[in-house]
Amino acid sequence: MSKTENAVLMTRAMTALQGKWDNAIGFIVVYLLITICPSWIPNVGGLIQFILEGALQIGVATFVLSISRQQPATISQMFSDINRSMLSLGTYLLSTIFIILWALLLIIPGIIAAYAYSMTFYIMVDDDKIGPLEAITKSKEMMRGNKWKLFCLHCRFIGWALLCLLTAGIGFLWLAPYFMVSNAEFYADLKSGQAEQLAAPISVEPV
């Protein structure tokens, strides 16, 4: 369970970004150029965009976790080796299919599924031997009882997003890293909570 207040997680994210804003904004710009420009290609643009987005997700998670953990973070982390890129794409495709299937029932189940799978790529960064389905399942377990808290964390960015609209969208170059690193802090808090649970002594009641 995530026990740290969302406001504290956001403060941690802001602290982690200090001195790394140039890097983070550069990362966002490169990511947008790579994923948005192909979408302008007639007929196949949407498919190419989906493939590129999927292939880069492990790299994106690697970069964001590096900032969160106060480790060296470089734009080149976005581009993992071909095997990890294919694994990333496969996981992205699988989770998207699951979300769409849930969304076919109603919009709300689809949103719930998206939150349930939201830790998948962080998990894959920390375990390079885990497979797509296993990572998705582990994310579901990790997010059990935590989806509402993550939703509330995201709601805290709505006001910032509205302000960014007043800057013709330029402000999103700062908001996006802040949002992403806050998510990484949420993952770190969940992981810390799991470690504490495993380390806690098991009490045995007398017969």
Q: Give the list of residues 6+ apart from residue 34 with CB closer than 8 angstroms, or none.
A: 52, 56
pLDDT the model gives residue 110: 94
Half-sphere exposure of residue 106: CA atoms within 13 angstroms, side-chain side: 3
Q: Residue 127: left (phi > 0), alpha (psi -120 to 50), or beta?
A: beta
Per-residue pLDDT of the chain (207 residues; tens, 9 = 90+): 788 999 999 999 999 999 999 999 999 999 999 999 988 998 899 999 999 999 999 999 999 999 999 999 999 999 877 788 999 999 999 999 999 999 998 889 999 999 999 999 999 999 989 999 999 999 999 999 999 999 999 999 999 999 999 999 999 999 999 999 999 999 999 998 776 665 556 544 544
Q: What is the DSSP secondary structure assignment for residue 41, as one 8-state letter?
A: S
* DSSP codes, 50-92: HHHHHHHHHHHHHHHHHHHTT----GGGGS--HHHHHHHHHHH
Q: What is the DSSP secondary structure assignment for residue 5, as one 8-state letter?
A: -
Paired tokens of 133:
């389905």
Q: Per-residue pLDDT tens for 80-128?
A: 777 889 999 999 999 999 999 999 988 899 999 999 999 999 999 999 8
Look at residues 120, 150, 152 and name the one whose alpha carbon lies nearest to residue 136.
Answer: 120
Rounded Cα gap, residues 67 and 5, in angstroms: 20
This prediction's pTM: 0.91
Q: What is the DSSP secondary structure assignment for residue 203, as one 8-state letter?
A: P
Which residue, chain included where needed, has tokens 């910032």?
Answer: 160
pLDDT the model gives residue 207: 43
CB 27 within 8 A of CB 75: yes
